[in-house]
């Protein structure tokens, strides 16, 4: 179920087709022609060639070449009037005047014009109101091709800067509970985006055996990660299924990019071909295989006694990023299907148990709340059963929270009710459940009030709980109490809304 090609109307409102979606469609269609954007009295025009913006015009004073050059400190405000005077008298462009007056070198003007295209386009993606118009030409001008920009990185940057987490989650909601499958262009597309190492690792965590939300984990709250998923999905580099694939007995994951053939001569003179990693000799591979076998058997024997940190071979002092790196390395080393590649099929059952425990350990340690509960249990502050219950409640709550952010309040209720039932003394759970009850298609403000009142009592310093209770009480007609709660929310968190 890849993202389909987008059929654009010649003109439409941004409310119907957001500008990033328009740009993705033009990129995929290798569009030649103009794109005119209107937002009230503001107007910008972009010329596209083979799906890339190569020229731009604007009626905004802040978009002028003079303003851009002043911002880049390439010219002063006093130095630009002679440029305009020269351009008017000679009937040439401002760029030609800048070159003729030797104020800029050609390479400086080239970069300034390119950056002007980029800045105008990225800023336009803030517009939620307005419309676009297309005027295809079908022609190409090779002289202006070098000015073009690669659109996906620009779209990713604009989404990460201008769209909220909630808006991205709402747009991605049909995908989050599905199982991703990476297409042949996925890795290359990821490399084109400007992602930090931590955000890039979230993309690497996508796997067909886990839903998107399970794969991304904490990345669901990071706009660069969600923006990257939006772009990669829209480019058609991802496919999605409603269930994970059934593993075949003979299916293996190849962890080596390069292989060579080692030809051995049998007694009858025929060649016997074995494949080994290009950088490893047979004897070295044999030694490492036996070492790996021993390591798996040792881990399997200690599953009942090793804690999560010992399983992942990390220090309890390490941060989440380092733990994630350790898990990825362990997953590459101990995955049962990878071991089949090394001829270790006979310990596949043991490896599966080890891998399952490694994944469980990472799930706990990569979640701040679950890790805190686990550490408390290790210190003897919580019983094992309490920690297990708390971890279950937190996992259930996270699923409900995702649906809550996506605006699926009815769908969130099932998970949030379960979380509150498991751990009723957690104010955040009560707050989320109360809000879902209030915002669902058939609101239940009285039940919402009960849970939100408990949330405020359990978490008196939580501005969100105060704000939500205030909104519910306002709907119930208790205006003065509602206003007091809303004022208190502002005191606790000035940015609360």
* Domain shared by 132 and 195, yes or no: no
Cβ(210)–Cβ(244) below 8 Å: yes
The enclosing H or E element of 221 equals: none
- When pLDDT is cut at 50, 70 and 90, the band that residue 146 belongs to is low
- Whether residue 255 lies inside any domain: the answer is no
- Whether residue 218 lies inside any domain: the answer is yes
* Domain shared by 116 and 207, yes or no: no
Domain that holds residue 335: 264-366
Q: What are the pLDDT digits (tens) for 269-314?
A: 444 444 444 444 444 445 667 777 778 888 887 777 788 888 888 8
* Domain shared by 128 and 144, yes or no: yes
* Domain shared by 16 and 145, yes or no: yes
- Whether residue 91 lies inside any domain: the answer is yes
CATH of the domain at 313: 1.10.287
At residue 338, φ and ψ (nearest 5 deg) are -70, -40
- Is the alpha carbon torsion for 67, 69, 71, 77 positive or negative? negative
Query: Is pLDDT at 183 greater than 90 in this prediction?
Result: no
Residue-averaged pLDDT of the chain: 79
- Whether residue 378 lies inside any domain: the answer is no
pLDDT value of residue 283: 47
- Whether residue 54 lies inside any domain: the answer is yes
The domain tally of the chain equals 4
The enclosing H or E element of 288 equals: helix 282-301
Query: Is pLDDT at 34 greater than 80 in this prediction?
Result: yes
* Domain shared by 46 and 80, yes or no: yes
- When pLDDT is cut at 50, 70 and 90, the band that residue 386 belongs to is low
pLDDT value of residue 264: 39
- Whether residue 352 lies inside any domain: the answer is yes
DSSP 5: P
5: nearest Cα among 22, 23, 28 = 28
pLDDT value of residue 74: 82
C-alpha 187/C-alpha 176 separation (Å) is 20
* Domain shared by 74 and 140, yes or no: yes
- Is the alpha carbon torsion for 300, 303, 304, 305 positive or negative? positive
* Domain shared by 314 and 388, yes or no: no
Q: What are the pLDDT digits (tens) for 228-282?
A: 999 999 998 999 888 888 643 344 343 333 333 333 344 444 444 444 444 444 4
* Domain shared by 173 and 142, yes or no: no
227: nearest Cα among 159, 134, 146, 143 = 159
What mean pLDDT is predicted for residues 161-182? 85
pTM for the model stands at: 0.50
pLDDT value of residue 286: 56
What mean pLDDT is predicted for residues 123-133? 91
Domain boundary (149, 181, 201) is at 149
Query: Is pLDDT at 468 greater than 90 in this prediction?
Result: yes
* Domain shared by 137 and 33, yes or no: yes
CATH of the domain at 463: 1.25.40.10
Q: What are the pLDDT digits (tens) for 94-120?
A: 778 888 888 888 888 888 888 888 889
* Domain shared by 220 and 331, yes or no: no
- Whether residue 464 lies inside any domain: the answer is yes
Which of 72-86, 139-153, 303-317 is least confident? 139-153
* Domain shared by 81 and 137, yes or no: yes
Give the range with max mean pLDDT: 272-281, 348-357, 420-429. 420-429
* Domain shared by 107 and 234, yes or no: no
The enclosing H or E element of 336 equals: helix 336-341
- When pLDDT is cut at 50, 70 and 90, the band that residue 383 belongs to is low
- Whether residue 372 lies inside any domain: the answer is no
C-alpha 413/C-alpha 390 separation (Å) is 19
What mean pLDDT is predicted for residues 395-416? 81
String of DSSP letters for 400-444: HHHHHHTT-HHHHHHHHHHHHHH-TT-HHHHHHHHHHHHHSSS--
The helix/strand/coil state of 410 is: helix
């Amino acid at each position: 179920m890849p993202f389909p090609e987008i059929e654009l109307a010649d003109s439409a409102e941004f409310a119907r087709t957001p500008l990033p979606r328009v740009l993705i469609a033009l990129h995929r269609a290798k569009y030649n022609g103009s794109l005119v954007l209107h937002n009230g009295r503001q107007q910008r025009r972009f010329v596209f060639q083979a799906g890339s913006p190569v020229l731009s015009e604007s009626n905004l004073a802040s978009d002028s070449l003079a303003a851009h050059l002043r911002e880049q400190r390439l010219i002063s405000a006093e130095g630009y009037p002679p440029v305009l005077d020269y351009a008017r008298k000679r009937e040439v462009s401002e760029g030609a005047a800048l070159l003729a007056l030797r104020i800029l070198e050609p390479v400086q003007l080239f970069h300034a014009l390119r950056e002007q295209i980029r800045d105008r386009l990225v800023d336009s993606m803030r517009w939620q109101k307005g419309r676009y118009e297309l005027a295809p030409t079908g022609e190409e001008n090779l002289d202006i091709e070098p000015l073009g920009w690669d659109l996906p990185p620009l779209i990713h940057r604009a989404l990460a800067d201008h769209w909220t987490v909630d808006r991205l989650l709402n747009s991605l909601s049909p995908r989050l509970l599905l199982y991703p499958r990476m297409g042949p262009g996925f890795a290359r597309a990821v490399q084109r985006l400007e992602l930090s190492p931590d955000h890039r690792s979230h993309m690497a965590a996508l796997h067909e055996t886990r839903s998107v939300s399970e794969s991304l984990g904490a990345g669901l709250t990071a706009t660069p990660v969600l923006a990257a998923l939006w772009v990669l999905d829209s480019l058609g580099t991802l496919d999605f299924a409603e269930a994970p694939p059934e593993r075949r007995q003979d299916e293996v994951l190849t962890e080596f990019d390069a292989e060579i053939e080692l030809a051995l001569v049998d007694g009858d003179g025929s060649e016997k071909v074995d494949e080994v990693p290009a950088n490893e000799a047979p004897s070295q591979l044999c030694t490492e295989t036996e070492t790996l076998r021993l390591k798996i058997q040792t881990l399997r024997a200690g599953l009942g006694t090793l804690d999560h940190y010992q399983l992942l071979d990390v220090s309890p002092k390490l941060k989440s990023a380092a733990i994630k790196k350790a898990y990825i390395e362990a997953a590459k080393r101990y995955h049962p299907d990878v071991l089949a590649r090394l001829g270790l099929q006979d310990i596949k059952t043991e490896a599966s148990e080890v891998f399952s425990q490694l994944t469980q350990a990472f799930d706990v340690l990569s979640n701040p709340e679950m890790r805190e509960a686990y550490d408390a249990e290790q210190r003897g502050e919580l019983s094992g059963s309490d920690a297990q219950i708390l971890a279950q409640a937190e996992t259930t709550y996270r699923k409900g929270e995702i649906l809550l952010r996506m605006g699926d309040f009815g769908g969130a209720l099932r998970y949030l009710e379960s979380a509150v039932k498991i751990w009723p003394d957690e104010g955040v759970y009560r707050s989320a459940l109360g809000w879902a009850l209030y915002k669902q298609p058939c609101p239940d403000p009285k039940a919402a009030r009960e849970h939100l009142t408990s949330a405020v009592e359990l978490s008196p310093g939580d501005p969100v709980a105060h704000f939500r209770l205030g909104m519910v009480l306002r709907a119930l007609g208790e205006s003065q109490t509602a206003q007091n709660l809303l004022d208190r929310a502002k005191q606790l968190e000035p940015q609360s809304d």
